[in-house]
Structure 1
Amino acid sequence: MACKKENTEKIEAKEEAKVIAPMSNDIMESAVIYEANIRQYSPEGTFAEFTKDIPELRELGVKVIWLMPVFPISETKRKATGGADSKFASEFPEEEQVKYLGSYYAVTDFTKINPEFGTIEDFRDLVKTAHDNDIYVILDWVPNHTGWDHKWLKTNPEYYTQNDKGEVIHPKDTDWTDVADLNYDNQDMRKEMIADMSYWVTEEGVDGFRCDVAGSVPTDFWQQAVPELRKLKDLFMLAEAWEPELLKGNLFDMAYAWDGHHLMNALAKSEKTLQDYDAYLEKVSNDYEADDILMNFVTNHDENSWNGTIKERMGNAGELMTALSFTMRGMPLIYSGQEYDLDHRLKFFEKDSIPHTKQKSWELLKKLGTLKNSNPALNGGKNPASYKQLDSEENVLMFERSKDGNTILFVGNFSAESNKVSIPNGKYLDYISDEKMEAKGDAINLEAWAYKILIK
C-alpha cells in the first residue's frame, strides 16, 4: 500500500497551461479590450483578486486584457498628488506617507513585479487563467522615462536626458516630476529597453504591449524594437498615441482615437454637432490607412481620475456614446469599473476601489460585447466591415455597416430633445430590446440621447 501511494504521488502531474492561439488579424476584428487597474480593481488590490474574475470578462466580449504597469514604483520623489501643484509623499507627515503609493508610471525595474500586487507566481497565474479563457494579456510599458530609483540612474546616467549642468531632468514641458526622462540618442539604452521587453514575451508569455506616450519616443526606436519583438511571437501592439506613422510598416496594430473621444465628450454636452462628427470621420479617412485600427473609448484611467466619470463628462448621453464606441469602426475599450457603473473618480496615487455589483452597465456591455464578437458587420480591425452613413433628421446619426452578408443599422438621437426618425424600409431585430420590427415608412420616436441597433 505504501508503494502504491508513493507511485500515485509521483504520477500526479501539474496542470499544463493552455497554449492560446497566436494573435491574428481575425482576432483583432471582433475584439473588445479591457484595461485592468489592479490596484483599484478590488479592496485587496492584487493580481489574485483580479484573476478570479477573468472568466467573467469573457461575458463582456473581452479578448485582450491590458494590465496597467505591474512594475515596482520608485520611492524617491514618489507623488502624492497630481496637477500643476503636485506634491511628493515626502512633503507630508511621516505617518501619512504610507498611504501614498505613487504612480504606476514611475518604474523602478522593468523586469520585476510590484509587491503591492503580489508575486511573480501570482502574475503567472493571471496570464495562465487569461489564456485558459482565450484572452490575451498585454503589459502597459513605460518607454519614455523611469522612476528616480531605477538602477540605470546610478550605473548609466548617460541613458537619461541631462541639462547644461549634467543633471538628469524630468520630461520637458510636463509636470511629471516623479520620473526621469530617457535619452533615446543612447543606443545602449535602446538595446536594454528592447531586452527588458523581450523578457516578458519569452519568459512570462505576455502577448504584447500598450506603450505609454508612444509618440514622445522617437519613431525610429519603434522601427528598431517592434520588428525584434515580433520575431519572438505574434504580438498585439497598442500605442498611446494618435500619430498615423506609428501604425505604418507593421509597427503598432492600434492607436488611440483621442479626437474621437474628445468629440464624444463635446457631443454629449451639445458643444459639437454631427457635422463635427462627419468632419472627424473625414479626417480619420485622410490621416489613416484603411487597415489602421483606432481604439474607441468613453473612459480610461486618465479620463476617470483627472477629467471625470462618464456621468460627469457625458451626462445622460453616456449609454449612447458607449453604444457608438462599439458600433463604429475600431476596437472598443472597457476600463475597470465601467462594467459596474463606477460613479466616482478613482484616486491615482492612493488606494481606492471600484464597485462590484452587476447592474445596467454590465448587461449593456455584455450585449454589445456579444454582438461585437459574433457579427461580422461590426468587424473593426484590419479588414473592417463597410461603413455607410445615411441621410436623416437633424441631430440624428444613422449609419449602416455590412460584411459577409451581415448588416447592422445604428440610429442615435444626439440631442437633449426627442426626435422623429424615418428608418429605411425593411425587417429588423431591435438588438437591445430583442424585439422584431418592420419599417414601412412610418417615423419612429427616439427619446433624448436614445439609440437603436437594428440587425437586418
Structure 2
Amino acid sequence: MKHIKTLSIILGLMLFLIACQQERKDKKGEDQKSFEPISNEILESSVIYEANIRQYSPEGTFSGFTKDIPQLKELGVKVIWLMPVYPISMKNRKATPDLSIEDIEDAEEKKKYLGSYYAISDYTAINPEFGSMKDFENLVKTAHDNDMYVILDWVANHTGWDHKWIEEHPEYYHKNKDGEVTDPINPDTGESWGWTDVAHLNYENDSLWRAMKDEMVYWVKEKNIDGFRCDVAGNVTTDFWNYVVPELKKEKPVFMLAESEDKDLFYEAFDMGYNWEGHHIMNEIAQGEMTVEDWDNYMMKIDTTYQKDDYLMNFITNHDENSWNGTVKERMGEASEAMLAFTYALPGMPLIYSGQEYGMDYRLKFFEKDSIPKIKGKIWDVHTKLGELKNKLKPLNGAKEAASYQRITTTNDVNIIAFEREKEGKKLIYVANFSEDPQEFKFSISGKFQDMMTSDDIELKTNEFHNFEPWEYKILSER
C-alpha cells in the first residue's frame, strides 16, 4: 500500500512537470506567433538604427541601451544594427590609429584603451565591457517585444590576434613568405591596410567556411537574432556568402546587409548594401564641389548597374564617417537637414547612427570610452516626423518592391532637385534647393498638396515661379 502511494505521488509529480513544460512550450509558441519574422514587406518601410553600445550611454552597456529601445519607435526604427558585441583581443590592441597598446608604457594609461570592436577574439561570446549574455538576450527580447529586429555586425574578413584559431587552425589565415600570419594586405599595393590589430582570414580553405558558418548559425539559432551587417563584405569571397546565407535561412528568415556596393553580392546572398558613392556625392554637394547634375548622373548609373530588386542604405553619417571624416555639421554644414530628409525620400533604407538623432556635433572616440548627448531638440523632432512618414507612406517604400523614382525637370536643374515617388497610385514629391544661395525656378507640377513636414496645404500651378532659400526642402503629398 505504501508503495502504491509513493508511485501515485511520483506519477502525479511527473504529470505536473509535463503539464508545466507543455505550458511553457505553448507560451513560447504564442510569443513566436505574435512576433512576425522579418520580411521584405516590413523592410519596405523600415528605418535602421546603428547602435554603438560602448558610446550610447554613460555606462556603455547593453542595459544602458535596452531601456531606450521603446523610444526608438518614435523615430520609426524597425531594425537595430548592433556594432560588434564580441570580446576584443588584447594582443596588438589599438590605442590610437597609429599606436598599439604595447606602445603604451603607463599601466593606468593602458586601461582607457578599449580597442576596436572589429578585432574579435571569440565569435560566440559577449564583450564583458557591455554586460552578460543574459543582458544581451534581454536586449533582443525587448527589441522583439517592441516589434523591432536585431542584426549583428559580423566580421568575417579577420579575427583579433588572441583568437584561438591562430593557434589551433593557422591554416585558416593568410601567411607571408616566411609562413607567418599577416594582417590584411592591400592586393593592389602589397602593403598593409594598417589594420595591424587583426589577422587576415583566408577563404581558400573550405574548412574555414564551415567553421564560420557554425559561428553565425549559433546567433540565429540559439540567440534568435534576425540577420547580420557584414563588415567589408566585398573582401570575402562572394561564394562564401552564397553558401552561408541559405544555411542561416534554414533556421529562420534573416536580413543581410553588406558593407559594400558590389552588385554581385546581391544576386543571392544580400538584401541591402551601402550607398557609399551616393553619400560621398551628398557631402560634395553640401560643400559646393558638386551639383544636382552630378546626382542625376549617379542615379542613371544606379539604374544600369543594379537589378530591379537591389537596394541600398542611405546615410548622412555612420561610425566610420563620424570618427574619421567628421560630424554631419563638419561635412554638410547648413545642408544637413535637407540631406537628412533626402535619405528618407530616396529609394532604399535610411540609417540613424547613435547620437545623430540628438544632433551630435562632435567626433566620438573610437578606441576609448565616450558618450553621445541625450537632449532632445529640433533634430529629434525632424527624425520623428521623417520616421513616421517612412513607416506610413507607400511612396516612401524602399526595399525590393520600392516605389518608383522619377526625376521632375525644373528650369534650374543645376541647383534644384525635384523627384516623384509613386506606389499603388499614391504620389509624393521631394523638392530642394541644393545650394548655399537663394534660387528661383519653375516646374510643370500642378495640384493640391500637403507639406508633410509642416502639415501646411499648398497649391501648385503649372509654370509658376518658386523661390527657395539656401538648402530649403519640401516633402509634398498629393491631396
TM-score surpassing 0.5?
A: yes
Tell me by how many angstroms 1:421 deviates: 3.4
Question: Aligned match of 1:59 in 74, 89, 114?
Answer: 74
CA distance in 2, matches of 1:412, 1:323: 10
Q: RMSD of the TM alignment (CA)?
A: 1.5
- Partner amino acid, structure 1, of 2:472: A
CA distance in 1, matches of 2:397, 2:208: 39
Alignment correspondent of 1:199: 218
CA distance in 2, matches of 1:322, 1:56: 20
Q: Check whether the contact 1:42–1:50 (CA below 8 A) recurs between aligned residues.
A: yes
Alignment correspondent of 1:401: 421
Tell me by how many angstroms 1:39 deviates: 0.2
The worse-fitting range, judged by mean Cα deviation, of 96-105 and 156-165 is 156-165
Alignment correspondent of 2:88: 73
Tell me by how many angstroms 1:443 deviates: 2.2
Pair 1:445 & 2:467 matched: yes
Q: For 1:306-455, what aligned pairs fall within 5 Å after superposition?
A: 306-392=324-410, 393=412, 394-422=414-442, 424-441=445-462, 442-455=464-477
Tell me by how many angstroms 1:189 deviates: 1.3
Which structure: larger Rg? 2
Question: Aligned match of 2:102 in 82, 90, 98?
Answer: 90
CA distance in 1, matches of 2:207, 2:232: 21
Q: Deviations over 1:408-439 (max 9, x none)?
A: 11101011111123351110101111111111
Pair 1:40 & 2:55 matched: yes
Q: Deviations over 1:320-377 (max 9, x none)?
A: 1111000011010000000011100000000000000111111101111110110000
Structure 2, gaps ≥5 residues long: 1-15, 187-192
Q: Check whether the contact 1:18–1:131 (CA below 8 A) recurs between aligned residues.
A: no
- Partner amino acid, structure 1, of 2:42: I
Q: Check whether the contact 1:412–1:449 (CA below 8 A) recurs between aligned residues.
A: yes
CA distance in 2, matches of 1:18, 1:105: 33
Alignment correspondent of 2:235: 216
Q: Deviations over 1:287-346 (max 9, x none)?
A: 100100100000000000000000000010011111100001101000000001110000
Alignment correspondent of 1:107: 120
Pair 1:263 & 2:278 matched: no
CA distance in 1, matches of 2:408, 2:366: 42
Q: Check whether the contact 1:147–1:179 (CA below 8 A) recurs between aligned residues.
A: yes
The worse-fitting range, judged by mean Cα deviation, of 90-99 and 298-307 is 90-99
CA distance in 2, matches of 1:421, 1:282: 23
| Secondary structure, counterpart of 1:111 in structure 2 | coil
Structure 1, gaps ≥5 residues long: 1-6
CA distance in 2, matches of 1:229, 1:439: 50
| Secondary structure, counterpart of 2:174 in structure 1 | coil
| TM-score (ref. length: structure 1) | 0.95
Alignment correspondent of 2:246: 227
Q: Check whether the contact 1:80–1:102 (CA below 8 A) recurs between aligned residues.
A: yes
| TM-score (ref. length: structure 2) | 0.91
CA distance in 2, matches of 1:361, 1:335: 13
Question: Aligned match of 2:145 in 119, 132, 152?
Answer: 132
Q: Check whether the contact 1:207–1:234 (CA below 8 A) recurs between aligned residues.
A: yes
CA distance in 2, matches of 1:446, 1:364: 19
CA distance in 1, matches of 2:239, 2:266: 13
Tell me by how many angstroms 1:273 deviates: 1.1
Alignment correspondent of 1:144: 157
Alignment correspondent of 2:12: none
- Partner amino acid, structure 2, of 1:89: I
CA distance in 2, matches of 1:190, 1:361: 44
CA distance in 2, matches of 1:406, 1:126: 37
Q: Check whether the contact 1:170–1:178 (CA below 8 A) recurs between aligned residues.
A: yes
- Partner amino acid, structure 2, of 1:397: I
Q: Check whether the contact 1:429–1:436 (CA below 8 A) recurs between aligned residues.
A: yes
* Aligned residue-pair number: 443
Q: What is the percentage of aligned positions where both structures have the same residue? A: 56
Q: Check whether the contact 1:399–1:411 (CA below 8 A) recurs between aligned residues.
A: yes
| Secondary structure, counterpart of 1:345 in structure 2 | coil
- Partner amino acid, structure 2, of 1:36: A
Tell me by how many angstroms 1:274 deviates: 1.1
Q: Check whether the contact 1:18–1:132 (CA below 8 A) recurs between aligned residues.
A: no
| Secondary structure, counterpart of 2:229 in structure 1 | strand
CA distance in 2, matches of 1:417, 1:273: 13
Alignment correspondent of 1:4: none
- Partner amino acid, structure 2, of 1:65: I
- Partner amino acid, structure 1, of 2:196: T
- Partner amino acid, structure 1, of 2:281: L
Pair 1:288 & 2:310 matched: no
- Partner amino acid, structure 1, of 2:120: V
Pair 1:167 & 2:180 matched: yes
| Secondary structure, counterpart of 1:445 in structure 2 | strand
Question: Aligned match of 2:46 in 18, 23, 31?
Answer: 31
Tell me by how many angstroms 1:444 deviates: 2.7
